[in-house]
Structures are given as C-alpha cells and as structure tokens.
Amino acid sequence: MYSLETVTTAAVGMTGSLGNVGYGLAAIGAGIGIGLVVSKTIESIARQPELASRLQVTMWIGIAFTEALALIALATPFIFGK
C-alpha cells in the first residue's frame, strides 16, 4: 500500500492544465458524434436506398459541423490561456 506521504508527493508533482483535459473531452465527444452521424446515415440508407445521395450530403455536413466544434475546442485554450 501507498502511504499518504507518497500519494501527496505524487499529486503535488503533477503538471498540466484544464485546457488539455477539455480538449481530450472534446475529441472524445467529436468521435462519438461522428460515429452517431455515420451510423444513422447507414441505417437510413438501408431503409430507403433511393435517398442515398441526399443522405450522404447531409452526413458530410453533419461531420463537418462536429469536427468544427472539436477544432474550436482545440483553439479555445490557446486564445483564452494565460
């Protein structure tokens, strides 16, 4: 087992910023968002194949917006950082 002194010393030595954690969460969110957009598009194409071209255009627009949010999350710590 670790002593309280070892845990405290390890915690004090940690460095980083909240911006790094925020970007990590944004990247996870973008990955989940893109997965949902693509999976729902595939389901829709399977149900109505004649709408495939229209659904693919909408899918790419959704992916672009999701990635834009991830890029905004990446830039935010640099803009508002110290």
Task: Report whether pLDDT(12) > 90.
Answer: no
- Contact (CB, 8 A) for 25 and 42: no
Task: Report whether pLDDT(9) > 60.
Answer: no
Instruction: Report the run of H or E that residue 3 belongs to, with start and end.
Output: none
- The mean per-residue pLDDT over the stretch 3-16 comes to 56
Distant-in-sequence, close-in-space partners of 25: CB < 8 Å, separation ≥ 6: 73
Task: Report whether pLDDT(1) > 80.
Answer: no
* Fold of the domain built from segment(s) 17-80: F1FO ATP Synthase (1.20.20)
pLDDT value for 26 = 76
Rounded to two decimals, the pTM is 0.66
- The mean per-residue pLDDT over the stretch 31-44 comes to 93
